[in-house]
Structure 1
Amino acid sequence: MLENNDDETWELRLYVAGQTPKSVLALANLKKHCEQHLKGRYKLEVIDLLETPQLAEGDQILAIPTLVRKVPEPIRKIIGDLSNEERVLVGLDVRPVASK
């Protein structure tokens, strides 16, 4: 039987800088992808670097918006507005939910 972490809670952090169009789009896209593929199994923390710039150093954030997958390990990062669903799923290593 294959090991599968379907019951694990994914911890995601989205780093943004204010309410720029790209940041707002990244958050909307991320919520859509999470609700479709990780529904009920994720925690999302949005960090606005205009309010707390010191938090960028901990995750080595060089560009924004950046999505960081903290759990499950290993840590993974995706930069951009997250509009390409396939790229986001591959980047996070999420298996897509089959369409019904």
Structure 2
Amino acid sequence: MKTEHKAWELRLYVAGKTAKSITALNNLKKYCEEHLKGQYKIEVIDLLVNPQLAEGDQILAIPTLVRKVPEPIRKIIGDLSNEEKVLVGLNIIPAN
């Protein structure tokens, strides 16, 4: 199901290049290419480099994915390995 939005702004918070962080980013890229091709922007924020950025989005665990646009803001915590949960959580596909 295609969305009506021009561009999705997704922000992935990680702490270094851990296996979980790398898995989360790879999963996110795969889902975006499959469902939002050409309509998304992923920003990766490494909290080891910029710990102060965690406060703005109230990041309590990592990795955490934050959907900034379209609003409302949504968050998903973990390595994003459950595709259906991620797609429903981001509202890319409707929940059954």
- Give the TM-score range, shorter chain: over 0.9
Indicate the percent of aligned positions where both proteins have the same amino acid.
Answer: 77
- RMSD of aligned residue pairs (Cα, Å): 1.4
Say yes or no: does 1:60 pair with 2:21.
Answer: no
Structure 1 residue corresponding to 2:34, chosen from 16, 33, 36: 36
Q: TM-score, normalised by structure 2?
A: 0.93
Q: Match for 1:48: what amino acid?
A: D
Q: Match for 2:9: what amino acid?
A: E
* 2:9–2:42 contact (8 Å) kept in structure 1: yes
Regions of 4+ moved over 3 Å: none
Q: How much has 1:87 moved relative to structure 2?
A: 0.2
- Largest Rg, 1 or 2: 1
Q: How far apart are the structure 1 equivalents of 2:93 and 2:59? A: 26
Unmatched runs of 5 consecutive residues or more in structure 2: none
Q: How far apart are the structure 2 equivalents of 1:88 and 1:5? A: 15
After superposition, what is the alpha-carbon deviation per residue over 1:4-43, rounded to whole angstroms, capped at 9, x for unaligned? 8534200000000000000000000000000000000001
* Count of aligned positions: 93
Structure 2 residue corresponding to 1:46, chosen from 36, 44, 47: 44
Say yes or no: does 1:77 pair with 2:75.
Answer: yes
Q: How far apart are the structure 2 equivalents of 1:12 and 1:24? A: 16
Say yes or no: does 1:87 pair with 2:85.
Answer: yes
Unmatched runs of 5 consecutive residues or more in structure 1: none
What's 1:22 paired with?
20
